[in-house]
Amino acid sequence: MLKPVISNSDNQYQIKSVSDGLPYQEFAKHIGKSPEAVKGMINKGKLPVLEMKESPDSQRAEYWVYIPAWNAGLKLAHESLPKEMRDGWLRWLGLGEPK
Protein backbone atom coordinates (compact mmCIF):
# COMPACT_ATOMS: atom_id res chain seq x y z
CA MET A 1 0.00 0.00 0.00
CA LEU A 2 1.25 3.49 -0.83
CA LYS A 3 1.85 5.63 2.25
CA PRO A 4 1.14 9.37 2.17
CA VAL A 5 3.78 11.87 3.22
CA ILE A 6 2.75 14.59 5.65
CA SER A 7 4.70 17.84 5.38
CA ASN A 8 4.48 21.20 7.11
CA SER A 9 4.54 23.93 4.47
CA ASP A 10 3.96 27.50 5.73
CA ASN A 11 2.52 26.13 8.99
CA GLN A 12 -0.16 24.22 7.10
CA TYR A 13 -0.07 20.45 7.00
CA GLN A 14 -0.37 18.88 3.60
CA ILE A 15 -0.67 15.19 2.76
CA LYS A 16 1.24 14.21 -0.34
CA SER A 17 0.92 10.83 -1.97
CA VAL A 18 3.62 9.07 -3.94
CA SER A 19 1.12 8.67 -6.78
CA ASP A 20 -1.63 10.79 -8.34
CA GLY A 21 -3.76 7.70 -8.88
CA LEU A 22 -5.35 5.04 -6.72
CA PRO A 23 -6.84 1.70 -7.73
CA TYR A 24 -10.60 2.11 -7.39
CA GLN A 25 -10.69 -0.44 -4.55
CA GLU A 26 -8.25 1.69 -2.52
CA PHE A 27 -10.12 4.88 -3.41
CA ALA A 28 -13.29 3.25 -2.06
CA LYS A 29 -11.61 2.86 1.35
CA HIS A 30 -10.58 6.53 1.34
CA ILE A 31 -14.13 7.80 0.76
CA GLY A 32 -15.88 5.22 2.93
CA LYS A 33 -17.73 3.40 0.16
CA SER A 34 -17.70 -0.20 -0.96
CA PRO A 35 -15.64 -1.17 -4.00
CA GLU A 36 -18.90 -2.17 -5.69
CA ALA A 37 -20.37 1.31 -5.13
CA VAL A 38 -17.25 2.95 -6.58
CA LYS A 39 -17.30 0.57 -9.55
CA GLY A 40 -20.90 1.69 -10.16
CA MET A 41 -19.77 5.33 -10.04
CA ILE A 42 -17.11 4.50 -12.64
CA ASN A 43 -19.65 2.79 -14.90
CA LYS A 44 -21.90 5.88 -14.70
CA GLY A 45 -19.01 8.24 -15.55
CA LYS A 46 -19.01 9.89 -12.12
CA LEU A 47 -15.28 9.57 -11.41
CA PRO A 48 -12.09 10.69 -13.16
CA VAL A 49 -10.57 7.31 -14.00
CA LEU A 50 -7.85 5.88 -16.14
CA GLU A 51 -8.47 2.49 -17.69
CA MET A 52 -5.26 0.48 -17.81
CA LYS A 53 -5.00 -2.50 -20.15
CA GLU A 54 -2.06 -4.65 -21.14
CA SER A 55 -3.10 -4.28 -24.77
CA PRO A 56 -5.91 -2.44 -26.58
CA ASP A 57 -7.58 -5.77 -27.40
CA SER A 58 -7.52 -7.00 -23.80
CA GLN A 59 -10.87 -7.67 -22.13
CA ARG A 60 -9.39 -7.10 -18.68
CA ALA A 61 -8.63 -3.65 -17.32
CA GLU A 62 -7.68 -1.98 -14.07
CA TYR A 63 -9.38 1.29 -13.15
CA TRP A 64 -7.41 3.96 -11.32
CA VAL A 65 -8.98 7.13 -9.93
CA TYR A 66 -7.03 10.29 -10.81
CA ILE A 67 -6.85 12.08 -7.45
CA PRO A 68 -5.87 15.62 -8.64
CA ALA A 69 -9.00 15.75 -10.84
CA TRP A 70 -11.15 14.40 -7.97
CA ASN A 71 -9.74 17.05 -5.61
CA ALA A 72 -10.24 19.83 -8.18
CA GLY A 73 -13.86 18.73 -8.62
CA LEU A 74 -14.45 18.74 -4.86
CA LYS A 75 -12.94 22.22 -4.60
CA LEU A 76 -15.11 23.51 -7.45
CA ALA A 77 -18.24 21.97 -5.92
CA HIS A 78 -17.43 23.49 -2.53
CA GLU A 79 -16.72 26.94 -3.97
CA SER A 80 -19.97 26.82 -5.97
CA LEU A 81 -22.11 26.44 -2.85
CA PRO A 82 -23.97 29.48 -1.53
CA LYS A 83 -21.90 31.26 1.15
CA GLU A 84 -24.36 30.27 3.91
CA MET A 85 -23.89 26.59 3.13
CA ARG A 86 -20.17 26.80 2.39
CA ASP A 87 -19.27 28.64 5.59
CA GLY A 88 -22.00 27.31 7.89
CA TRP A 89 -19.64 24.96 9.68
CA LEU A 90 -17.37 27.92 10.58
CA ARG A 91 -20.28 29.71 12.23
CA TRP A 92 -21.11 26.52 14.10
CA LEU A 93 -17.54 26.59 15.48
CA GLY A 94 -17.89 30.29 16.34
CA LEU A 95 -15.34 31.29 13.70
CA GLY A 96 -17.57 32.69 10.99
CA GLU A 97 -19.51 35.90 10.53
CA PRO A 98 -22.50 36.27 12.85
CA LYS A 99 -25.91 36.40 11.15
How many other CB atoms are found less than 10 A from the CB of residue 47? 20
Cα 43 to the center of its chain, rounded Å: 17
Q: What is the pLDDT of residue 4?
A: 55
Domain 20-92 has CATH 1.10.10: yes
| Dihedral sign of CA atoms 79, 80, 83, 85 in order | negative
pTM for the predicted model, two decimal places: 0.72
| pLDDT, averaged in runs of 10, over the chain (99 residues) | 55 72 96 98 98 90 96 95 89 76
